[in-house]
Chains A and B, each alone.
Chain A
C-alpha cells in the first residue's frame, strides 16, 4: 500500500484541528492571554502566568509580551472562534494612559522611597490592600483591579528598601583627593552617581590607621590607595559587586568582612562601605586604558580567564598587611 492509496484509512482527516491561540474569556486574570495560551497548548494556564510574571522582572519582557498579545491576539467568543474586534480610539487611549500611569507610578514609587517618602508609599499599599479586603466582603469583583496599582507601587518600593538606596547624599559625579590628614573627613556620602576617593597622595607617614565611611545609594564608588597601605574593608551592598584589590564578591545582600590589621609601624586603611546598588572598587591605580568595570571577565576570582594582573594586585595587597614587607 502506498501513501497515496485511496483504500488506506485516513487518520489525518480525523485528527482534531489545531487549537488556535485566542485570549480566553473564561480563564482570565487580566486579559486572558495566559488562559488562551494554556488552552492552545493544552497545559494549565498557571504555567504561562508564572512565566510571564517572572519575565516581567527580566527587563520588562513579560510586560511587553503581555501588552503585545493583548493588542494583537483576538479574544474568543466563548465557542473557540475569534470574537469581532472592536478597538476604538477611546479604548486605545485608555490603554496608553494606563501604561503611562503604570510607568509613572513605578518610577515615582522608586524615587519617592529613595527620597525618604517610603512611609507614604507603604501607607498607599496598605490602603489599597484594606480597600480590596472590604470590597471582597461586599462582593465587588471590579475591585480586583486595585491589586495592579498596589503591586506597581510595592515592587519598586520594596526593591529600593531592600537595596537601601537613598538619595540623601545628592546626585552626580564626585571626586575627592585629600592630601592632609587634618582635612580628611570621617566619611563620604553620595545618593546616586560616581564617587571617586583618591588617597594616593595622602600623608601616610603617620602609622595611625585611617578609618573611612563610604555611603553610596546607587552607582559606582572607587577608592585609590598606595600599594604600601594595608587595606581592610567591611562592605554591605544591597545588590552589586565589590572588588577590593583583586578580591571580589557579587550578588544581592553582599556582606563582606575583610578587615585586616596592619603590622606595627605600617600604614593602614579601614573602609566601612554601605552601598544600595552598584559597584565598589579599591584599586592601586586607574585601570589600564580606562577599561570599564567588569570587562573581560577579570573579576572572576576562580575562572580560567583571571589575569596575572589581578594575582599580582592580590600579592602586593597581602604583602602590605604582612609582617615581612620586604
Chain B
C-alpha cells in the first residue's frame, strides 16, 4: 500500500525550492530579481502553504467525522 505524502510539507517544500531557485538565479546574475517579482512570489509561497495546511486540516476533520 502506498503512503499518501503529507500535503502541507510537500507544498511548502516545493514552494521553498522554487523560492530558493529564484534567489540563487539572482545571485549568479542569471536573472534580476525585482520587487515586482519578489512580492507576489513570497505571497504565493505563504498562500500555498496556508492553503495546503487548511486543506489538510479539513481532510482530517472529514476523516474523523467518518
- Contact B9 A162, beta carbon cutoff 8 Å: no
Which residues in window 5-63 of B have CB below 8 A to A? 5-10, 12-24, 26-28, 33-39, 41-42, 45-47, 49-51, 53-54, 57, 60-61
Interface size band for B = 35 or more
Chain A interface, DSSP helix/strand/loop, else mixed: helix
- Contact B6 A129, beta carbon cutoff 8 Å: no
Q: How distant is the Cα of A13 from the Cα of B28 in the complex, in angstroms? A: 68
**A143 interface hit (Cβ, 8 Å):** yes
Our pick among B12, B27, B37 for the contact of A147 (Cβ within 8 Å) is B12
Contact string, A120-138, partner B, CB cutoff 8 A, digits 1/0? 0111011011111111110
**A158 interface hit (Cβ, 8 Å):** yes
Our pick among A45, A125, A135 for the contact of B23 (Cβ within 8 Å) is A125
The 29 listed contacts between A and B (C-beta, < 8 Å) are A29-B49, A46-B51, A46-B54, A49-B50, A50-B47, A50-B50, A118-B27, A122-B24, A123-B24, A128-B16, A128-B20, A129-B12, A129-B15, A129-B18, A130-B17, A133-B9, A136-B9, A137-B10, A139-B5, A147-B13, A150-B12, A155-B42, A161-B23, A161-B27, A161-B33, A161-B38, A162-B34, A252-B35, A253-B35
User: What are the 8 tightest A-B residue pairs by CB atom distance, in nearest-first order?
Assistant: A132-B13, A129-B16, A126-B20, A133-B13, A125-B20, A136-B10, A136-B9, A122-B24
Q: How distant is the Cα of A15 from the Cα of B13 in the complex, in angstroms? A: 46
**A281 interface hit (Cβ, 8 Å):** no
**B3 interface hit (Cβ, 8 Å):** yes
Question: Taking each of A129, A135, A253, which has the highest tally of chain B beta carbons within 10 Å of its own beta carbon?
Answer: A129
User: Which A residues lie within 8 Å of B28 (CB)?
Assistant: 119
Say whether, besides A125-B23, A129-B20, A158-B19, A136 and B6 are in contact (CB < 8 Å): yes
Q: How distant is the Cα of A28 from the Cα of B46 in the complex, in angstroms? A: 15
Closest to A121 in B: B23
With an 8 Å Cβ cutoff, the count of chain A residues facing the other chain is 48
Chain B interface, DSSP helix/strand/loop, else mixed: helix
A residues in contact (CB < 8 Å) with B: 26-29, 45-46, 49-50, 53, 113, 118-119, 121-123, 125-126, 128-137, 139-141, 143-144, 146-147, 150-151, 154-155, 157-159, 161-163, 238-239, 252-253
The smallest beta-carbon distance between A130 and chain B, in angstroms, is 6
- Contact B3 A139, beta carbon cutoff 8 Å: yes
- Contact A154 B20, beta carbon cutoff 8 Å: yes
- Contact B50 A135, beta carbon cutoff 8 Å: no
Q: How distant is the Cα of A144 from the Cα of B18 in the complex, in angstroms? A: 17
Closest to B53 in A: A29
User: Which A residues lie within 8 Å of B16 (CB)?
Assistant: 125-126, 128-129, 132, 147, 150-151, 154
The smallest beta-carbon distance between A192 and chain B, in angstroms, is 19
Extra contacts besides A123-B24, A133-B17 (19): CB < 8 Å: A29-B49, A50-B50, A119-B24, A123-B20, A126-B20, A129-B12, A129-B13, A129-B17, A132-B12, A133-B9, A136-B7, A139-B4, A139-B5, A150-B20, A151-B46, A158-B42, A159-B38, A161-B27, A253-B34
